[in-house]
Structure 1
Amino acid sequence: MGPHIWLAVAAGGAVGAMARHAVSRTAMHLLGPNFPWGTLVANIMGSFVMGLIIVWLAHREPVSPALRVFLTVGLLGAFTTFSTFSLDVVTLYRDRTIVIAGAYLLASVILSVSALLGGLAIGRQFT
């Protein structure tokens, strides 16, 4: 993987992170701070846009690998990793079975939340 791929990921990540921050601030301003509206909105928007981009890229093959990673890994990866997770679930369902897709979905949510709780518990021991 050449340096242009890494630069494409980094550039997309910068744009995606700024967009996520803008969505979060806007959601907090419009909807208030009592619920993670910004995260919810970013996850829904990112998943929708991931679907659009995947179809767009598929109909334009061959597509530059740099463009592909700029949009998917960089831009949407920084905007929300949930978009990639959503794509993984749908791809597993399409290419394998609903059982495998469901197992991945449940394992991702349960293990990720558990890992966060574990990180919190261990982190508190150092403070």
Structure 2
Amino acid sequence: MQNEPAGEEPVDPGIGLRAPAQRSEAGLRQRPVVLAVALGGAAGASARYGASLLWPTAPDAFPWTTLVVNAVGCAVIGVFMVLISDVWVAHRLVRPFFGTGVLGGFTTFSTYAIDIQRLVDGGEARTGLAYLALTLVAALFAVWAAAALTRRVIQWRQP
């Protein structure tokens, strides 16, 4: 602790710092995970884009497509998490591929934020706030209800 600048803690070389060889090895172990997330994300984003083509939303309309996509995605996350946590022993890349990648790419909370801004900027502040709240409630309810229903189905099917 001697000669330390005022207000700074000494750096412990065993915490948070790694030798270049360790960083390289850790990076190699993470490549399959990064690839799984990227491939899943591309699939999820493509599915979301497909939903927007099948059910387009006019610029001045309530963004039902985004709301439904987010709620459905959250419901699937609820089912998925119960299945891989309580039922199956999943491969280590299943969660990054499907949970983070596919469902992260499919749900579109960035578009949700842009939709709110578009509604508020267009003079529809009440609609924007209603959409903000409705999406939050729908997403939380969807993940909770889907997880609870999945657990009940699993319990019912077990002898």
Q: So what's the TM-score if we normalise by structure 1? A: 0.58
Task: Measure how far apart 1:2 and its partner are.
Answer: 2.0
- Aligned residues of 2:69 and 2:108 also touching (Cα < 8 A): no
Aligned residue in 2 for 1:78: 105
Aligned residue in 2 for 1:23: 51
Match of 1:50 among 57, 66, 77: 77
Distance 1:53 1:79 in 2: 14
Structure with max Cα Rg = 2
Distance 1:81 1:26 in 2: 16
Kindly report the root-mean-square deviation, in angstroms, between the aligned alpha carbons of the 2 structures. 2.3
Task: Measure how far apart 1:74 and its partner are.
Answer: 0.3
Which stretches of structure 1, 4 residues or more, deviate above 4 A after TM superposition? none
Q: Give the secondary-structure state (helix, strand or coil) at the position aligned to 1:15.
A: helix
Instruction: Render the CA deviation track for 1:46-96: whole Å, top value 9, x for unaligned.
Output: 0111111111111112x22211110111000111155xx849x96xxxxxx
Matched, 1:2 2:6: no
For structure 2, list consecutive stretches of 5 or more residues without a partner in the other structure: 1-28, 110-138, 145-159
Could you say which structure has the higher helix fraction? 1
Q: Which residue identity lines up with residue 15 of structure 1 in the other structure? A: A
Provide the aligned length of Structure 1 versus Structure 2. Answer: 83
Identity %: 40
Match of 2:64 among 9, 34, 37: 37
Matched, 1:65 2:92: yes
Q: So what's the TM-score if we normalise by structure 2? A: 0.47
For structure 1, list consecutive stretches of 5 or more residues without a partner in the other structure: 91-127
